[in-house]
Amino acid sequence: MSIAVIYGGTRPNGNTETLAKHATQGIEVEEIFLNEHNVLPIIDKRHDEKGFQDRNDDYNTLIERILRHDTLVFATPIYWYSMSGTMKNFIDRWSHSMRDNNFPDFKTQMSNKEAYVIAVGGDSPSIKGLPMMEQFNYIFEFMGMEFKGYIIGKGNQPGDITQDKVALFQAEELREELRVK
Amino acid sequence: MSIAVIYGGTRPNGNTETLAKHATQGIEVEEIFLNEHNVLPIIDKRHDEKGFQDRNDDYNTLIERILRHDTLVFATPIYWYSMSGTMKNFIDRWSHSMRDNNFPDFKTQMSNKEAYVIAVGGDSPSIKGLPMMEQFNYIFEFMGMEFKGYIIGKGNQPGDITQDKVALFQAEELREELRVK
Amino acid sequence: MSIAVIYGGTRPNGNTETLAKHATQGIEVEEIFLNEHNVLPIIDKRHDEKGFQDRNDDYNTLIERILRHDTLVFATPIYWYSMSGTMKNFIDRWSHSMRDNNFPDFKTQMSNKEAYVIAVGGDSPSIKGLPMMEQFNYIFEFMGMEFKGYIIGKGNQPGDITQDKVALFQAEELREELRVK
Amino acid sequence: MSIAVIYGGTRPNGNTETLAKHATQGIEVEEIFLNEHNVLPIIDKRHDEKGFQDRNDDYNTLIERILRHDTLVFATPIYWYSMSGTMKNFIDRWSHSMRDNNFPDFKTQMSNKEAYVIAVGGDSPSIKGLPMMEQFNYIFEFMGMEFKGYIIGKGNQPGDITQDKVALFQAEELREELRVK
């Protein structure tokens, strides 16, 4: 069993990253920092005769890396009450992968994975971050993935997250869960 | 008084576009198709000494066009239960504009605008699109904009939206509202 | 095929009732006005050795009436951003019916029904009424019922709903749907 | 400064009660068990010439007890993805108190209070309990109360909550917060 952490942040050592690293400390995980890669927005070709075209970016490589793992941790800062555009673009592209002959079993493979979400926001995240969690829930439900849990931390300034004792405790509990995977 | 329609779709003549055009038929509006422009993801520099850096893309030009109008209509397909990554990237960038000396009154100017959302989705959009509407509500609330209304249409295949009589009727009602702006 | 409308309002001829009657005009439906009956709050005995006890109120009679129908329309005013306590008490009691030997097939029978919700509220109902719709969605999902659609109207003063053209149109569309059941 | 805990459960020593007691252990609080009192559903008379009529139940006495305190903890099991009907009836009645000459400053007094919510549910409460938290948020917002925080625990069988380490930790953190009030 193995674990990938997909980071949607755009600032090195951001609060979300700190929290996700706290949760995975001492555990072997593959880390994917989306902002270090070129992932273009989807161009919807679902109804185009020729179908989707390759975007010639890093997306496929990232998907290949992710598909090898059993557990996916989505770690995103809360930007404007939702996941970062960086992460949204990545997920939007799944619509292509589901129809891509290069990934014939994409949805089936994804459906065998377990998912977690770690998110940090500054503006009442435990309330205003809830719609995002509902969306992740719908996303995982659609893919057949099990949504195993989430952590919402509070932070704005760099380092703030280290003051959020509940989030840290939840990260430690999650660490125990991930350790046995 | 004037109106801008900001399109987040990535397919020409998509259902969302059709619905938004139905709502604005016969009314002078400025149309902004985000997918025809280069809008890069934000790189969060809020806590960086030097602050945000210009991304050298089309974003600033688009913001200038938008700021001229009193009413903004956000027209986005529902991708994965949320706005398209294309539109999300555009909104994420507002975090820069709020701290950009080139737009010293950005938030104040935005706070004087009225906002509408038009969205079309395929998977139970009237339920599973609700978290997105809550997010738009939080976004507008944060900016001090008035969220005047929204339409959620149902459609998957091209042209489906023309079968959604309620959405079309709502678009016609919205048209009356927009006509007097 | 037959239809029951379950009213959760507590004021005769309220806006919700007006809207629901607009939707069912000319159609044979059984109307159940919960506020005309005595429905006590549930007393949770799920984990009690003796199980639930009969509450000696009108609840069972109402359930019997409902079970005869294929389509259930839940018509509730939005009180404090949710269904009325009157309707909530009624639904809470389903936890008993699911364990009641007098209704051995309660859940199975319910799972064959289709559900609609009609609700009217005064404080931004199209946004602030959304969590209630998500809850109805979870409720129907749990029971295996199909959530066929909902209407959220806006109204505060008596008669206000007659000004909500979109809600009236939706009610008329719903009427066409119900007519063929 | 003083604290009231308002219990919406209907089973003695339920999981919600256990969690709320864990959070208030060693702290002087006034406990109000709604199910030990007679609180009738509201009858909406907002638009009636004579206005609301006294319901001759225990509601007013309970409101008087609550108004003496600065901090209110709402402790409710999650029944059908929302607060219990018992608690909903209690809150519905606030619509009367806001127009009751016996409580001329009801809303102002309430607006000076801080609120917490403690809830335990069995069916994916951390996701499916979110709409309820959004509703509490709207309720407190309307009343001008500050929503200081919430805990969602997981439990079904009696005693289950003692296995939810995160909820217990959150309760202990809340205890520190309440201790200094």
Over residues B79-107, the mean pLDDT reads 97
Any idea which residue has 């901090």 for tokens?
D71
> 10-residue block means of pLDDT along chain A (181 residues)?
95 96 98 97 92 93 97 98 98 97 96 98 94 97 97 96 97 95 76
* Closest CB from C130, C149, C173 relative to B165: C173
Neighbours of C73 (CB within 10 A): 25
For D29, the token pair is 């609080």
Residues of C at the D interface (Cβ-Cβ below 8 Å)?
9-11, 14, 35, 41-45, 47, 77, 79-86, 88-92, 94-95, 123, 128, 130-132, 134-135, 138-139, 142, 157-158
Give the integer Cα–Cα distance in Å for B68 and D10: 57
In D, minimum Cα distance to A136 occurs at D127
List the beta bridge partners of residue D149: D116
Q: Which chain A residue has its CA at the smallest distance from D165's CA?
A: A173
Model pLDDT for residues D68-97, shown as the tens digit of each residue: 999 999 999 999 999 999 999 999 999 999
Contact B132, B78 (CB under 8 A): yes
Strand, helix or coil for residue D111: helix
Amino acid identity of D28? E
User: Which pLDDT score is estimated for D99?
Assistant: 95
Q: Looking at the complex, report in whole angstroms how far the Cα of residue D91 sits from the nearest Cα belonging to chain C.
A: 8
Structure token pair of residue C31 = 């109307």
Query: What's the confidence (pLDDT) of residue C139?
Result: 98
pLDDT above 80: residue D142: yes
Output the six-digit token pair for A15: 């609060």
Which single residue is written with the structure tokens 């309430």? D110
Closest CA to A154 of A77, A75, A84: A77
Q: How far apart are the two ends of chain A, measured CA to CA in Å?
A: 6
D-interface mutation test, from C99, C138, C141, C157, most D Cβ less than 10 A away:
C138
**Alpha carbon separation from D82 to A44, A152, C81, C134, D122 (Å, rounded):** 38, 21, 11, 10, 12
Q: Residue B177 pLDDT > 90, yes or no? A: yes
A117, A166, A168: best mutation site toward chain D, by most D Cβ within 10 Å?
A166
Cβ pair A132:B128 closer than 8 A: no
- Cα A165 to Cα C114: distance, rounded to the nearest angstrom: 45
Query: D134–A149: do the CB atoms touch at under 8 Å?
Result: no
Please state the rounded mean pLDDT for residues B127-150: 96
On whether the CB atoms of residues D74 and D113 are closer than 8 A, the answer is: no
pLDDT at C180 over 90: no
C150 to chain B, closest Cα gap in Å: 8
Q: Who among A10, A88, A123 is closest to B43 (CB)? A: A10
D-contacting chains (≥3 CB pairs under 8 Å): A, C
Q: Cα distance from C176 to chain D (closest Cα, Å)?
A: 31
Shortest CA gap C160–chain B (Å): 17
CA–centroid distance for C52 within its chain? 23
Distance from the C164 Cα atom to the nearest Cα atom in chain D, whole angstroms: 19
Residues in chain B whose beta carbon is closer than 8 A to a beta carbon of chain C? 126-127, 130, 133-134, 137, 147, 149-150, 165-166, 169-170, 173
pLDDT-derived band of residue B181, with 50, 70 and 90 as boundaries? Answer: confident
The encoded tokens of residue B62 equal: 């688009």
Give the SS3 label for residue C13: coil
Which residues of chain D have a CB within 8 Å of the CB of C84? 41-42, 88, 92
Helix, strand, coil % in chain A, rounded to nearest 5: 45, 20, 40
CB contact under 8 A, A127 and D147: yes
> Between chains, do C133 and B149 touch, taking CB under 8 Å as contact?
no
The sheet that has D30-33: what strands, in order across it?
D30-33, D3-7, D71-77, D114-121, D146-154
Which pLDDT value is given to residue A173?
Answer: 97
Q: Which of B134, B166, B173 sits opposite C173 (nearest CB)?
A: B166
Q: Is the dihedral of CA D45, D49, D51, D53 positive or negative?
A: negative
The tally of domains found in chain D comes to 1
CB contact under 8 A, A130 and D126: no
Q: Which residues contact B79 (CB under 8 A, 6 or more apart)?
A: A42, A88, A92, A95, B85
Q: Residue C42: which H helix or E strand, with range?
A: none
CB atoms B166 and C165 under 8 Å: no
Min CA distance, D165 vs chain A (Å)?
8
Of D132, D115, D4, the C-alpha closest to D63 is D4
Determine the residue among B40, B49, B79 to mutate to test chain A binding: the one whose Cβ has the most chain A Cβ atoms within 10 Å: B79
Which residues of chain A have a CB within 8 Å of the CB of B44? Answer: 9-11, 14, 77
Q: Residue holding tokens 């008329």?
A: C172
Q: What is the pLDDT of residue D11?
A: 93
For residue C2, what pLDDT band results from cuts at 50, 70 and 90?
very high
Angle between helices B15-24 and B165-179 (to 10 degrees): 40
Are the Cβ atoms of D88 and C80 closer than 8 angstroms?
A: yes
Which residue range is the domain that position B44 belongs to? 3-179
Q: Which two tokens stand for residue C103?
A: 């209704």
CA distance A135 to chain D (A): 10
Q: Supply φ then ψ for residue D76, to 5 degrees.
A: -135, 135
Can you tell me the mean pLDDT for D33-54? 93
Interface of chain A against chain D, CB under 8 Å? Answer: 126-127, 130, 133-134, 137, 147, 149-150, 165-166, 169-170, 173
Average pLDDT, chain B: 96
C84 contacts D92? CB cut-off 8 A: yes
B110/C59 Cα distance (integer angstroms): 53
3-state secondary structure of B46: coil
Strand partners, B82: B79
Closest alpha carbon to B94 in B83, B78, B110, B76: B110
* pLDDT-derived band at D181, boundaries 50, 70, 90: confident
**For B131, which of A9, A84, A135 is closest by C-beta distance?**
A135
Q: What is the ipTM of this complex?
A: 0.96
> What are residue D114's DSSP bridge partners?
D71, D146
CATH number at residue D33: 3.40.50.360
| Res D180 pLDDT > 90 | no
**Which residues share a beta bridge with A74?**
A6, A117
CA distance A82 to chain B (A): 7
Residue D58 CB contacts under 8 Å (≥ 6 apart), including other chains: D37, D38, D39
**A143: closest chain B residue by CA:** B80
Interface residues of chain D, partner chain A, Cβ below 8 Å: 126-127, 130, 133-134, 137, 147, 149-150, 165-166, 169-170, 173
Distance of CA C125 to the CA centre of its chain: 17
- For residue C99, which amino acid is it? R
CA distance linking residue C106 with residue C94, whole number of Å: 9
CB-hemisphere CA count at 13 Å for C56? 0
Torsion of CA B9, B15, B19, B25, to 10 degrees: 80
Residue B180 in contact with residue B71, Cβ under 8 Å? no
Quote the strand ranges of chain C, DSSP E: 3-7, 30-33, 71-77, 114-121, 146-154
B100 dihedral zone (left: phi>0; alpha: psi -120 to 50; beta): beta
Q: DSSP secondary-structure letter at D82?
A: B
The DSSP H or E segment spanning D23 is: helix D15-24
The answer on pLDDT for D146 being more than 80 is yes
Average pLDDT in the D5-13 region?
96
Dist. CA D40–CA D58, nearest whole Å: 8
Cα–Cα distance for residue pair A110/A71, rounded to 1 Å: 10
pLDDT at C140 over 90: yes
Distance of CA B76 to the CA centre of its chain: 6
H helical segments located in C33-164 = 59-67, 85-92, 94-97, 106-111, 125-128, 130-143
pLDDT for the residue numbered D115: 98
pLDDT band at D44 (very low <50, low <70, confident <90, very high): very high
Q: Closest chain D residue to A168 measured between Cα atoms?
A: D166
Q: Output DSSP code: residue D41.
A: P
Strand partners, B77: B120
Q: What is the DSSP letter of C76?
A: E
Q: Please state, in angstroms and rounded to a whole number, the distance separating the CA atoms of residues A46 and A67.
A: 22
For B140-173, what is each residue's pLDDT tens digit?
999 999 999 999 999 999 999 999 999 999 999 9
